[in-house]
Amino acid sequence: MRQESPQLNTLVLQRSAYLEDASFSDLEGFDYLQSQSRVRIGHGTFEASSFRSVTIGPRSFVGQKAFAGLQNLSLLTLNANVGLSTEAFHGCSRLRMLVLKGAIGRIAISAFSGCDNLRLVALSYECFTWLRASSVNVRRLIRLRIMLPRCRFVLVPPRPSRCIDLKAFRRFGGQGAIGLKVVQGQSSRPLASLSI
């Protein structure tokens, strides 16, 4: 896997760390935050900072209101098993896209409260593989779907030339199926399905 080099205005967290509560609130001058390993981000740590894009490393935890009020944030990437506390991204009004890479961690029901422009959740192929492993995993996706009713859920396969659209859930409460389709222009064909 090719490692992308960070931009000059990027704050990179390369090692496991614990960031104290409110330690970097109102941080200016950085457009990107990249966490490449496990990190625990305390309550209000980056509140009202200037990030446009945030990538959280695998097995990390984001505390209450850690990224609340980021007015420039438009893209959020969560690696495998990232936990989000209450109102972790509260009031990020420009957040438009959430990318999930791998297993979906525990996400508080109000983690994205006030993110009114969040319309797209992109699932990596690794996330799709994790979902197929167990119906318990699918329930985490259903919970996220209930939390974000306005969002369109899309599966992005390894090759960027094709995109898979997640069909609306038929039933909730342990019944139903999720249908995935490859979308190519106006025609689509079934690719796979998950049952819960």
Could you read off the pLDDT of 136-184 as tens digits, one per residue? Answer: 888 898 899 899 989 988 877 665 444 444 443 333 332 333 434 333 3
Residue 1 lies in a domain: no
Residue 133 lies in a domain: yes
Residue 25 lies in a domain: yes
Its domain, for residue 105, covers 10-166
pLDDT average, residue stretch 107-127: 93
Q: What is the DSSP letter of 73?
A: -
Residue 68 has pLDDT above 70, yes or no: yes
Residue 39 lies in a domain: yes
Question: 105: domain CATH number?
Answer: 3.80.10
Residue 67 has pLDDT above 90, yes or no: yes
Instruction: In whole angstroms, give the CA distance from residue 130 to residue 103.
Output: 6
Residue 187 lies in a domain: no
Give the chain's count of helices (H) and strands (E): 2, 14
pLDDT average, residue stretch 24-53: 92
Percentage of residues of the chain with pLDDT beyond 70: 76
Residue 55 lies in a domain: yes
pLDDT at 134: 85
Q: Strands, E, within the chain: which ranges?
A: 10-13, 17-19, 32-35, 39-41, 53-56, 61-62, 75-78, 83-84, 97-100, 120-124, 152-156, 163-166, 177-184, 187-195
Total count of domains within the chain:
1
Residue 4 pLDDT grade (very low, low, confident, very high; cuts 50, 70, 90) = low
Residue 70 lies in a domain: yes
Instruction: Tell me which of 11-15, 19-23, 147-151, 174-178 is least confident.
Output: 174-178
Residue 101 lies in a domain: yes
pLDDT digits (tens, 9 = 90+) for 79-96: 999 999 999 999 999 999
pLDDT average, residue stretch 2-16: 70
Residue 8 pLDDT grade (very low, low, confident, very high; cuts 50, 70, 90) = low
Instruction: In whole angstroms, give the CA distance from residue 26 to residue 93.
Output: 16
